[in-house]
Amino acid sequence: MLNLPVTDVKGIGEETALQLADLRIRTVRDLIEHFPYRYEDYQLKDLHHVKHEERVTVVGTIQSEPSIRYYGKKKNRLSFRMLVDGVLITVTFFNRAFLKNQMVVGAQATVTGKWDQHRLTITATEFMQGKQEREQTLMPIYSTSGSLTIKNYVNTFNKL
């Protein structure tokens, strides 16, 4: 069974099989033995226990209107203040001006990014309205190619 081609897995067609072949995944065994190169940890953390420059996911209340500064063509910085664990911090997103309309003063939000303990700043990569509701807090990150995304790969793997 492990030596069967990946096309024998329900939901994997010829196009996906070609994309998997680019990653040297041709059999069910190859698919099972293709390990992630790292993991992202989305577990909620208390800022008082987070080390400088550590990746962190926190929940807090938005305290200020987001402001956007533009730098040249297609470059911007969106910033706002957020109260997390009794600490007023600044959250900064780069090139994500479209998020401004999702941020409401007084609303709760979940933010993931790199913590700068000296400046009390999170350089954020992800934003979600309300409190985090992830089933999995540890997400595998696989190397992919072409139009095969990490999400598609994980969905393919879950079909086994």
For 91-113, how does the pLDDT look when each residue is reduced to its tens digit (9 = 90+)?
999 999 999 999 999 999 999 99
Whether the per-residue pLDDT at 77 is higher than 80: the answer is: yes
Greater model confidence, 71 or 151:
71
What pLDDT is attached to residue 132?
74
Report how far residue 153's alpha carbon sits from residue 121's, in angstroms, rounded to the nearest whole number.
Answer: 33
Across 4-8, 17-21, 112-116, least confident range? 17-21
Average pLDDT over the chain reads 87
Residue 11 burial class via C-beta count within 10 angstroms: exposed 0-12, middle 13-18, buried 19 and up: exposed
Model confidence at 145, pLDDT cuts 50, 70, 90, reads: low
Name every residue whose Cβ is closer than 8 Å to that of residue 147 and which is 6 or more positions away in sequence: 19
Q: Check: CB of residue 124 under 8 Å from CB of residue 60.
A: no
- Helix ranges (H only) for 11-126 are 14-22, 28-32
pLDDT cut 90: percent of the chain above it: 51
Quote the pTM value.
0.72
pLDDT in tens, 14-65: 888 888 888 888 898 888 888 777 777 888 899 999 999 999 999 999 999 9
Between CA 134 and CA 128 the distance in angstroms is: 11
Question: For 40-129, CATH number?
Answer: 2.40.50.140
Amino acid at 57: T
- Grouping H, G, I as helix, E, B as strand and the rest as coil, residue 52 is coil
Question: 128 or 41: which carries more pLDDT confidence?
Answer: 128
Q: Where are the domains of the chain?
A: 6-37+142-158, 40-129
Exposure of 145 by Cβ count < 10 A (0-12 exposed, 13-18 middle, 19+ buried)? Answer: exposed
CA dist 6 and 18 (Å) reads 10
Q: Tell me which range, 19-33, 82-96, 129-143, is most confidently predicted by mean pLDDT.
A: 82-96
Residue 70 has pLDDT above 70, yes or no: yes
